[in-house]
Every structure is written in structure tokens, then in C-alpha cells.
Amino acid sequence: MTIKALIFDLDGTLAETEETHRAAFNATFAAHGLDWHWSREDYAVLLKTGGGKERLRAFQAGLPEAARLPEADILRLHAEKTETFGRMIAEGAVGLRPGVEDLILHAREAEMAIAMATTTSRPNVEVLARTCWGRPADRVFDVIASGDEVERKKPDPAIYRLALDRLGMPPRECLAFEDSHIGLQSARAAGLGVVITPSTYTEGEDFTGAAHCAPTLEQRNWPLILKAMLLSY
């Protein structure tokens, strides 16, 4: 089987961004005088829900009804959080995970397409690309499918199906890279083989069904990743 495209998740896969997301949420809550504060333990649970707006809704669903915000306020909070996250990334809060840049360069040299399928919003994709690659996202990735373009987030397969549709390729010609159980479920439901590199928040999750699980995408792991490409379908 010939793999013609690699499809990457963003948060936790390309970069360890989740702690920065958490910090941006908490800074936004504080700026609005809310007594909300998400600990690492809180956020680990909330990450089981794909999408930032969806996490806000999931969080306040557990609050007394009188303490809940209207939907318009949730949307404003999320928009401000996105701006705060963008500033943090632009200031160098995170970089690419080990091996990511080399793997994408190698795939380019092999004339593979490079795509992204992420539940995060397009502004977050842009700021990461400009900070880590010094280029707009559409000059790094041939196809970008972001969370604000689908109604249902991971573990639903919609985001991967959108990426596949834009690539114009069947799942058997593509390989997905993920860090989480919900990401694995999403990609597998779209018919993709999946390589997992667990992140800080997803170590210990169930990755049954992955073609391969590696600590990083560094070159020493490429032989097993190549094997995963050949055996994933």
C-alpha cells in the first residue's frame, strides 16, 4: 500500500499546546471576574470533550443553573480565550514536538501531501504555523480542516472526512497522526490508519486500534512508523 498523504492533529500531536490552552482559559476567566479556574485535573477531564466552546459548555453544565452563562457569553469568552492563546503562542509558549518538522520535511521530499484535521479553530492553526514555521498555515499544509468547519467534533469522524474530501484521496492512501483516544476514534471511524504519539495529557489512554504508538516522531521511530504505514490497512 502506498501512502500519499499524512494527516496531523494539532493540539498535543504537532505541539504540546494543552497547558497553554488551559492557561489562556484561566486568564480569560480571571479577566471577566469569574470564579472559574481549571486545574490540570479538571482540564484532563474536559479534554474528553473535543473543541474549546464545547468544553466551556460541558463545564458549565455541571454548575448550578443560576451560575451558568448564556450562549452569547460563552462564544465571547471563547473568542477572547483564542486571542489570549494566540498571544501566548506568538510569544514562544510552545514549539513543535520532537521529530515533527523533520517528518514533514521528509514527507515533502517524498512528494506526499500534508494535511491537518483539528478540532481547534483556524486562528490557532495560523498562529502556530507562523510561530513555528514562519509561514502562513496554507504554505505548510496542503489541506486544513479545522474545528469551526464541522458541527460535530472528535471523536466524530467529520473532521477527518472533511480533510479526506479536500485531499481527494481515499483513506487507504493516507495516514493520521494523533495523540488522544478521541482523536484515534475519529480517525479510525473515517477509515484511516493511525500513528499515536501520546502527549502530556493523554499518556495512559487506551490506544487499541492504532497502527503504532511511539513516544515521539523522531527519526529513530521512523522505521516502525513506516511499518505502520504498510500494515495499517
Instruction: Taking the CA atoms of 30, 91, 56 and 73 in sequence, report the sign of the dihedral they define.
Output: positive
Active-site pick, 9, 35, 138, 148: 9
On whether the pTM is more than 0.85, the answer is yes
CA distances 7 to 82, 161, 162, Å, are 23, 11, 11
Beta carbons within 8 Å of 231's beta carbon, 6+ residues apart: 211
- Mean pLDDT across the stretch 92-120? 95
The tens digit of pLDDT for each residue in 41-79 reads 999 999 999 999 999 999 999 999 999 999 999 999 999
| Model confidence band, residue 1 (pLDDT cutoffs 50, 70, 90) | low
Q: Which of 136, 49, 51, 128 minimizes the C-alpha distance to 93?
A: 128
Tell me the average pLDDT of the chain: 94
Task: Collect contacts of 216-221 with beta carbons under 8 A, ≥24 apart.
Answer: 216/97, 216/98, 216/99, 217/97, 217/98, 217/99, 217/100, 217/102, 217/103, 217/177, 218/98, 218/99, 218/102, 219/99, 219/102, 221/99
pLDDT at 140 over 80: yes
Amino acid at 149: E
- Mean pLDDT across the stretch 111-124? 95
| Angle, alpha carbons 135-136-139 (nearest 5°) | 85
- pLDDT for res 221: 83
pLDDT at 141 over 60: yes
- Mean pLDDT across the stretch 174-202? 97
Q: Which of 84, 155, 82 minimizes the C-alpha distance to 117?
A: 155
- Mean pLDDT across the stretch 169-174? 96
Q: What is the DSSP letter of 215?
A: S
Does 179 qualify as catalytic in the annotation? no
pLDDT at 233 over 70: no
- pLDDT for res 230: 67
pLDDT at 40 over 90: yes
Rounded to whole angstroms, the Cα distance separating 138 from 219 reads 25
Does 11 qualify as catalytic in the annotation? yes
Active-site pick, 11, 138, 179, 206: 11
CATH 1.10.150.240 corresponds to the domain 18-90:
yes
CATH code that applies to domain 5-16+96-231: 3.40.50.1000
pLDDT at 130 over 60: yes
Rounded to whole angstroms, the Cα distance separating 12 from 198 reads 8
Query: How is the chain split into domains, by residue range?
Result: 5-16+96-231, 18-90
- Mean pLDDT across the stretch 8-18? 97
pLDDT at 232 over 70: no
- pLDDT for res 2: 84
- pLDDT for res 225: 77
- pLDDT for res 192: 96
